[in-house]
Amino acid sequence: MLYLEIKALHILLVVSWFAGLFYLPRIFVNLAMVPAHSSAERDRLLLMAGKLYRFMTPIGVLALLTGLWLWLGVGIGGARLHAKLVLVSGLLVYNLYCRRLLSKFISGNQTHSHVWFRWFNEIPVVVLLAVIVLVVLKPF
C-alpha cells in the first residue's frame, strides 16, 4: 500500500515540478522583451522568476527522491529505466541552467533573444513527451 501512496506523491511532485519548468522560461521570454526603460516591469518579472525558482527546485528534488524510492524499493530496471534516467538527468541540468539564466537576468548580462527563450521553453515539453512514451507505451 505504501508503494501506491509514494507513487501518487511522486506523480504530484513531477507535475508540480514540470509546471515550474514550463513557466519559468516563459517569464524569461517576457524578461527578454522588456524595454530598457521599464525597470518596474523588469523588477516584477525578476521577483516572480526568483520566487518560482525557489519554489520549483525543492519540488524537483522531492520528485527525484520519491522516484529513487520507487526505483530502489521495487527494483525496476532495464533499458527503459536507463532512458528515463538520462531524460531526468537532462531535466536536472535544465533546472540548473535556468538558475544560471536567472542570474544573468539579475546581473543584466543576459544576451539571448526572446525567440531563443521561446525555443528553450520547449525542451521540457519534449522531455515530458518522451518520458510519457517510456512509461505508458513501454517501447522497449
pLDDT of 24: 98
The structural domain count of the chain equals: 1
Beta carbons within 8 Å of 88's beta carbon, 6+ residues apart: 64, 67, 131
* Predicted local distance difference test score (pLDDT) of residue 94: 98
Question: For 67-72, which contacts have Cβ atoms below 8 Å and span 24 or more sequence positions?
Answer: 67/10, 67/14, 69/6, 69/10, 70/3, 70/6, 70/7, 70/10
* pLDDT score, position 81: 87
Predicted TM-score of the model (pTM): 0.92
| Domain limits for position 73 | 2-137
Query: What is the predicted pLDDT for the residue at 73?
Result: 82
The predicted pLDDT at position 89 comes to 97
Segments of the chain scoring below 70 in pLDDT: 76
